[in-house]
Amino acid sequence: MTSSRPDTTMIGNSLEISRVLTGLWQVADMERDGRALDPDAGADALQAYADAGFTTFDMADHYGSAEIITGRLLQRYASKEKRPRAFTKWCPPPGAMTADVVRAGVEERLQRLGVEQVDLLQFHWWTFEHPAWLDALHELAALREQGLIGEIGVTNFDAAHLHLALADGIPIRTNQISFSLLDRRAASDLSDVCEANGVRLLAYGTLAGGFLSEKWLGKPEPHEVPDWSGMKYHRFIQAIGGWGVYQAVLSAAASIAEKHGVSIANVATRWVLDQPAVAGVIIGARLGESEHRADNLKLFGFVFDADDVAALDEAFSKASAIPGDCGDEYRKPPFLTASGDLSHHLSEVEKPYKTVEVPGRGDRQWVLTGSEWEDIAGYCRAQRIGGRIVVSGTTATATATVGADRVVAPDDAAAQTTFILDKIAASLGALGGSLDDVIRTRVYLTDADDALAVSKAHGRVFGDIKPANTLLCVGALIGDYKVEIEAEAVVATNSG
């Protein structure tokens, strides 16, 4: 039986949302010719969704005029409690995240939406090697306390960095990630972190750019995929083992769809909604052109039985896992994005640390982070001599733009390890190296009970690199630190 309205769920204690969110990323695609959509006509299209119970809209600072169109819709409601929910994203380029920078980003969202408070402000960061992402989240938390933000979310965060943010005291409510029959990374460690901390997942890509539909059932692999979304998810299909593996998953979903009298898209979306950490799925809409409200309502009129679950699990068993964790497709090879390799983009991101030529020693370079202790104690964060890079003992210290430095996640050794290894990666990168070049690490703990958690955090980064390693438990570290790590790397050089 088809439901008359979509199910709802709660984000935090006060934010009720539709479990099917309407995604507005295609507004940017519709405006590619430089002509903005008429905001009133766009609001009329959103009104039809809201009237049908699809009351939650997802957008971003770079989705064309989506925020403006949604703002025009929100102006039609006198009461905040009864109006639709508007979730937007702020995706700043990495750089210093001062209070003024963050406030300006949020105030622009408020102005475009025409509201006094953003219901859910979702934060995206391109590379965790630039530590200012944590500064930004703390500033967002302060703006939440001031009432400019209802709740804070993140997008494309992996399990380790979500855990780190939570351990550092950020009140994160959601993480928006890719999740589908083809991409099940979020069902593992990330879901564990979410369920342990009351964070909900918002899933996109559930239909894999249209590949999880009747259109492709039994069809040959296309030689070319013309649209950006299709290009992205065609890469996912290749990553799980190719067209034949994908067709096996699609065939299993088709059999279940026929059994329940629903579409393949319904089956694919229902499977994601049934994952315990998932609050909702984001399904895109081309305003005024392509709408699927009636079909999406069928999601709430059937449930999987044991045979359905077993059929999908059997198809999954033949597929390779998408490499890495959620968000890795934007940050590291194999870059499963529409445009493919993003290394050129990441290479243009502002580096957090600068190199300095060692006076009188032309074969040496330093990395200095700006920590007051570098001058007090007379040391550098890292030094390169020829092809060798040595990184000083590194702790989870957030270097303040103003005021005093602070300890990150003071009660969590695993979170500190994640932050430290990002700092080491950034230091190596400044000197022309990478984590792949590391040949030795030394890890110092203050509590032997943290050995397993720290080792797992170390293994997440170095599992395939396998440098020589020493793990020591010491009586104490200077300051309120639970972990300190030093590293050595050898970078291949051209000998001519």
Q: Higher model confidence: residue 289 or residue 496?
A: 289
What tens digit of pLDDT does each residue of 451-462 get? 999 999 999 999
Query: For the residues 474-493, what does the mean pLDDT come to?
Result: 94
Least confident of 179-183, 286-290, 296-300: 286-290
Q: Would you say residue 495 has pLDDT above 60?
A: no
Backbone angles phi, psi at 442, to 5 degrees: -130, 125
**Closest of 443, 448, 440 to residue 471, by C-alpha:** 443
Residue 441 Rama label (left phi>0; alpha psi -120 to 50; beta): beta
Q: Are 144 and 112 in contact (CB under 8 A)?
A: no
Q: Which CATH architecture is the domain 351-490 placed in?
A: 2-Layer Sandwich (3.30)
Residue-wise pLDDT tens digits, 402-422 = 556 899 999 999 999 999 999
How far, in Å, CA of 22 to CA of 419, rounded?
34
The span from the CA of 424 to the CA of 434, in Å, is 9
Which is more confident, 96 or 29? 96
Burial 361-399 (b: 16+ CB within 10 A, else e): eeeebbbbbebeebeeeeebbbbbeeeebbbbbbbbbbb
Q: Is the N-terminal amide bond of 220 cis, ω within 30° of 0? A: no
What is the predicted pLDDT for the residue at 342? 65
pLDDT at 21 over 80: yes
Mean pLDDT value across residues 377-384? 95
Closest by alpha carbon to 203, among 142, 282, 98, 134?
282
Q: What are the domain boundaries of the chain?
A: 8-331, 351-490
Q: Rounded to the nearest 5 degrees, what angle is found at the Cα of 281, between the Cα atoms of 276 and 285?
A: 175
- Count of beta carbons in the 10 Å neighbourhood of residue 22: 25
Question: Rounded to 10 degrees, what is the CA torsion of 428, 432, 434, 440?
Answer: -60
Q: How distant is the alpha carbon of residue 25 from its chain centre?
A: 16
Burial 183-195 (b: 16+ CB within 10 A, else e): bbbbbebbbebbe
CATH of domain 8-331: 3.20.20.100
pLDDT tens-digit profile of 137-170? 999 999 999 999 999 999 999 999 999 999 999 9
pTM, full prediction: 0.95
pLDDT digits (tens, 9 = 90+) for 58-92: 999 999 999 999 999 999 998 777 899 999 999 99
Q: Whose CA is closest to 236, among 206, 200, 277?
A: 206
Read off the pLDDT of each residue in 394-402 and give the average, rounded to a whole number.
80
Query: What are the structure tokens assigned to 42, written together?
Result: 């766009």
Contact at 8 Å (CB) between 90 and 105?
A: yes
pLDDT tens-digit readout, 189-248: 999 999 999 999 999 999 999 999 999 999 999 998 887 788 899 999 999 999 999 999
Query: DSSP of 179-204, one letter per residue?
Result: -SSS--GGGTHHHHHHHHHT-EEEEE
Q: 65 vs 25, 68, 205, CA distance in Å? A: 10, 5, 22
Mean of the per-residue pLDDT values of the chain = 93
DSSP secondary structure string for all residues of 66-134: HHHHHHHHHTT-S-TTTSPEEEEEE-PPSS---HHHHHHHHHHHHHHHT-SSEEEEEE--S-TTSTHHH
Mean pLDDT value of segment 425-442:
96
DSSP letter for 7, please: -
Radius of gyration of the chain measured on its C-alpha atoms: 24
Query: Given a cut of 50, is residue 496 above it in pLDDT?
Result: no
Cα–Cα distance measured from residue 314 to residue 281, given in angstroms and rounded to the nearest whole number = 24
pLDDT digit string (tens) for 243-269? 999 999 999 999 999 999 999 999 999
Angle at the Cα of 356 (from 434 to 386), degrees rounded to 5?
55
Closest CA to 119 of 228, 259, 12: 12
- Is the predicted pLDDT of residue 337 greater than 50, yes or no? yes
